[in-house]
Structure 1
Amino acid sequence: MDATARQAALKKLDVLVGDWVVEAEFAGLPPSVGRCVFEWTLDGQFLLQRTQAPQPAPDSLAIVAVDPETGEYTYHYYDARGVVRLYSMTFADGTWRLLRETPDFSPLPFRQRFTGRFSEDGDTIHGVWDRSKDDSAAWEKDIVFTYRRGY
């Protein structure tokens, strides 16, 4: 991947930059609210996400990088429990996707995926985390997140 293609891939992520309110719906619990900030770091080469998570989720930090082999992205996740995970990430046509199906820095007791869809004005992302206990199991809805720009 050349520098022009890398910069074009990074530019697509500009829509995430800024402050967001995060509303979460966990099964059996009342909705909760947290905050999230996306900002460029290291001369704009990486996108940093800092989240004060809605309870009971842990606070977290993620770093988005362009994958030089595919032109897609990697999403490096770290949280207050000490969990470290690596997700593949795609970002196209108003849809943000994360996927983790293989062990990485931590064991893989379940597969995870996130699908977030942007509103037409770009100020809301409605997303769902799904999980699957093993390769043969169906995906089950885990958590619903709604990101709203500004806080």
Structure 2
Amino acid sequence: MTAARHTANQRLQGLEVLVGEWDMEASIDGQPMGRCTAMFTWHDSRGFLIMRVDPPQAIAPEWRESSPFPIDAAIGLDDHSGAFAMLYADARGVCRIYRMSFENGHWEMRGQAGPGFHQRFEATIRGDGRLVTGRWDASSDGETWKPDFEVTYAKR
């Protein structure tokens, strides 16, 4: 018996630019905090994009204790509302849901990890889609944001 194949959702296929292996670097004010490998692959159904970030090859001492690596995530789409979501889990036992948008070279995620702890990620897909530059911000009220750290993805 052959497994049924899913029909690819065209809006979800817009994430194809992320598929592949990336060198990822996190930094604060230009100071590298960690370098690792991020991999984006389609789930067999092509209904979810899976992200895996391996433990870093290099990590700053001040980040070692709170390191979230490895990180696993699944990106999906609600075709009724057109909203993307990322389900996130990491080595610390942290599990979160981020609302996500991805269009016209702009990638954004937002979530509230608890009372007084809001997060957002804003990134730009550069040039031919082989470079992503972004930043995570934090907020206590969801209105006033301060930079947390920068992230760069360079496709291998």
Q: Bin the TM-score by the shorter chain.
A: 0.7 to 0.9
- What is the CA–CA distance in structure 2 between the aligned matches of 1:53 and 1:126, rounded to whole Å? 20
Q: Judging changes above 3 Å, is the alpha-carbon distance between structure 1 residues 47 and 130 closer, same or farther for their aligned structure 2 residues?
A: same
Partner of residue 76, structure 2: 65
Aligned partner of 1:10 among 12, 19, 41: 12
Specify the alignment match of 1:93 in structure 2. 104
The structure richer in strand per residue is: 2
Contact 1:9 1:72 (C-alpha < 8 Å) held by counterparts = no
Q: Distance in 2 between matches of 1:148 and 1:108?
A: 34
**Which stretches in structure 1 are left out of the alignment for 5+ residues?**
none
What is the aligned partner in structure 1 of residue 3 from structure 2? none
C-alpha distance 69-142 of structure 1, shift in aligned 2 (>3 A): same
Unpaired stretches in structure 2, ≥5 consecutive residues? 1-5
Question: Identity rate of aligned residues, in percent?
Answer: 35
Q: For the pair shown, which has the larger CA radius of gyration, 1 or 2? A: 2
1:149: Cα distance to partner? 0.1
Taking the aligned partners of 2:30 and 2:103, their CA distance within structure 1 comes to 32
TM-score (normalizing by structure 1): 0.85
| Count, aligned residues | 142
Q: Which runs of 4+ in 1 moved over 6 A?
A: none
